Amino acid sequence: MKITTHRACTAFILLYLAFVLAGCATTTANTAAEIPAMHTLKDVNDERVAHVASDPWEGFNRRMYQFNFYFDKYFYIPIVSGYEYITPTFAQTGVSNFFNNVGEIRTFYNSLLQARGKTSLVTFGRFATNTTIGIGGLFDPATYFGMVRRQEDFGQTLGTWGASTGPYLVMPVLGPGTVRSHGGFAVDSGIHATIKSAVDPLGNTENGDAILAGVSALKAIDTRHQQRFRYYESGYPFEYEIMRYFYQQRRERLIMK
């Protein structure tokens, strides 16, 4: 019993770290993709940009934004670059497909909670297709068949049912977000850990904890690998304000779609 408890705790910690590392890339990079090609200093000082987000903890948030820049530049990105250098392109694609397929589970239950019947059916179809025909998710035939991938999380679920975004909040490593989105991330992480504990795919495997650590680390690396965003390389004056503005605009559009 003690061994089982120890393994469960270890697994939870490893999964949490993987989610945190992955979240750092996910929240910022997806926002960066929404930024138009050009902005002027006048645009940055526009009222829409300055006041769209409630940012009462701006001092803390700016320090965390800078901390994340150093963490990204001197730790995370060098590891990802090494992975990309030694791993063949086809293998990188397979790894990305596999973890994206696992992520369909989160989209599926959040689509149900949001009462989005069509999205939940498409997501279930994607997961079933890629898990079987796609050989455990290593390939993505579902996209070829016209089943478009969606990404839903519990933060979006809360927003769908009217929960306020709360203040803007940049977390160390995790990155930009709001009280609502970070709270949703915590719920999704807990659900993921619960599902993994219930399924326990490595329960009868020797050195299961070591394997779990490796898979968790690979997930974190792959998530950053799939994102193009780099802190302070956007070319915009006052990048912090721009990121804050587009992050919240994108999140609201995801909820309304």
Q: Does residue 57 contact residue 178 with C-beta atoms inside 8 Å? A: no
- Of 42-56, 82-96, 159-173, 226-240, which one has max mean pLDDT? 82-96
Q: Which domain holds residue 116?
A: 2-242
pLDDT (0 to 100) of residue 173: 85
d(CA 257, CA 250): 11
Residue 251: inside a domain:
no
Q: Does residue 172 contact residue 67 with C-beta atoms inside 8 Å? A: yes
**What pLDDT band is residue 96 in, cutting at 50, 70 and 90?**
very high
User: How many C-beta atoms lie closer than 10 Å to residue 26's C-beta?
Assistant: 22
User: How many C-beta atoms lie closer than 10 Å to residue 257's C-beta?
Assistant: 9
Counting the structural domains of the chain, the total is 1
Q: Does residue 126 contact residue 104 with C-beta atoms inside 8 Å? A: yes
> pLDDT, tens digit, for every residue of 121-171?
999 999 999 999 999 999 999 999 999 999 999 999 999 999 988 999 999
d(CA 151, CA 64): 26
Phi/psi at 178 (nearest 5 deg)? Answer: -130, 175
Residue 210: inside a domain:
yes
> pLDDT, tens digit, for every residue of 187-230?
999 999 898 888 777 666 777 778 888 888 999 999 999 988 88
pTM of the model: 0.76
Sign of the C-alpha dihedral computed for residues 14, 248, 57 and 161 taken in this order = negative
Q: What is the DSSP track for 180-245?
A: HHHHHHHHHHHHHHHHHHHH-TTTTSTTHHHHHHHHHHHHHHHHHHT----TT-S--TTHHHHHHH
Residue 44: inside a domain:
yes
d(CA 212, CA 201): 10
Residue 45: inside a domain:
yes
Residue 257: inside a domain:
no
